Amino acid sequence: MRTIDKNKPVLVTGGAGYLASWIIKILLDDGLDVNATVRDPADSEKIAHLEELARTSRGRLRFFEADLLAKDSFDASLRDCELVIHTASPFFITGIKDPERELIQPAQAGTRNVLEAATRTATVKRVVLTSSVAALYGDNADISSTQGGIFTENDWNETSSEAHQPYSYSKTIAEKEAWKIAEGQSQWDLVVINPGWILGPSLTQRTDSMSIKTMLEFGNGTYKSGVPQLWTSIVDVRDVARAHVKAGFTPEARGRHILVSGERTLLDLALILRDKFGDDYPFPRREAPKSIFWLIAPLYGRTRKYVSLNVGIPIRFDNRYSQKDLGISYRPVEQTVQEHFQQIVDNGLLG
């Protein structure tokens, strides 16, 4: 049993990211001290929201410079920490020119660098890793090889590669690397969080997170002429952040945890938005035929193979273990999507 001393700082890697910012907020509000790594602590725009959070909460926040690809760069940030929450990993699914360099190396070598630094730090007792449902499956078509037509924590993505779904591949090999390193030592244990597509209000004004970019695209007319019939699994960023903190401080927490509130199509999301915001924004109104997306996929940075194996294929996730092991409950998808868009409007991000 790993009981974490709440008087010791918690390390959060990739601290200025969309998800990590919520994790840091919860920790600081609970009065804990946080060590946050960022690639560039001098980039005041990226960290201003965190400094503001620290000003108004009981916990103390310290920034450390660290890059996933620099072998020893996490050591200083780990000093005195018993708990490490490793969220940093590149997240983008289109516009990838060199998957090995842009995604796979930072995800896999980055995980190794952080976890090996944790082993070098005698105080570390637990590592919580942000993986993804992308480490469970590659394409929606993989649902046909599951037992009972539903993804569970027993599933591993066996269909992604550097050439096909490289982001999913990067998350899969990074999580495998983490389990391998965890099993090779006994100083700390590993708890893994596997979220679906994370949405919900952002604490940062950054728009480079994939989750925020896509929500912006719903409001700026990118999908005005139609969306593909694509099922995704949605979860609220605040619930994912809470799950990380529970995973850190629940001594008996074990294994992988699917975090999904519900499955929806892109058109379902548009209808949820129209329900609240009416016709004020050019939300998509219809699904365009799969054959059209198959033809134009390369123009949108997607392959035809991707369209064949994903569009029109429903998916389902079993989220019972996360509720039982971590004691979390899920916000409804409708609330998540509407509050995310409201935050985008309130922050003037749609111009």
Residues that bind ligand NAP (CB under 6 A): 14, 16-20, 38-39, 46, 67-69, 87-91, 106, 130, 132, 171, 195, 197-198, 209-211
- Shorter beta-carbon distance to ligand NAP: residue 57 or 172: 172
Helices (H), the chain: 18-29, 44-55, 75-78, 99, 105-120, 166-183, 210-219, 237-249, 266-277, 290-296, 304-310, 320-326, 333-346
Least separation in angstroms between residue 244's CB and ligand NAP is 10
- Shorter beta-carbon distance to ligand NAP: residue 235 or 267: 235
- Shorter beta-carbon distance to ligand NAP: residue 263 or 294: 263
**Looking at beta carbons, which residue is closest to ligand NAP?**
17
Least separation in angstroms between residue 69's CB and ligand NAP is 6
Q: Is position 171 annotated as part of the catalytic site?
A: yes
Could you say which of 171, 180, 224, 305 is catalytic? 171
Which one-letter DSSP state was computed for residue 325? Answer: H
Helix, strand, coil percent content, the chain, rounded in steps of 5 = 45, 15, 40
- Shorter beta-carbon distance to ligand NAP: residue 175 or 282: 175
164, containing H or E segment: none
- Sheet bearing 231-236, strands edge to edge: 197-199, 231-236, 262-265
CA separation, residue 321 to residues 10, 109, 184, 236, 255 (Å) = 25, 29, 26, 17, 10
Least separation in angstroms between residue 118's CB and ligand NAP is 16
What residues contact residue 99 under an 8 Å CB cut-off, 6+ apart? 162, 163, 166, 169, 170
Phi, psi (rounded to 5 degrees) for 33:
-90, 140
Quote the CA–CA distance of 241 and 351 in Å, as a whole number: 29
Least separation in angstroms between residue 110's CB and ligand NAP is 6
- Shorter beta-carbon distance to ligand NAP: residue 36 or 297: 36
Least separation in angstroms between residue 241's CB and ligand NAP is 10
Active site residues: 171
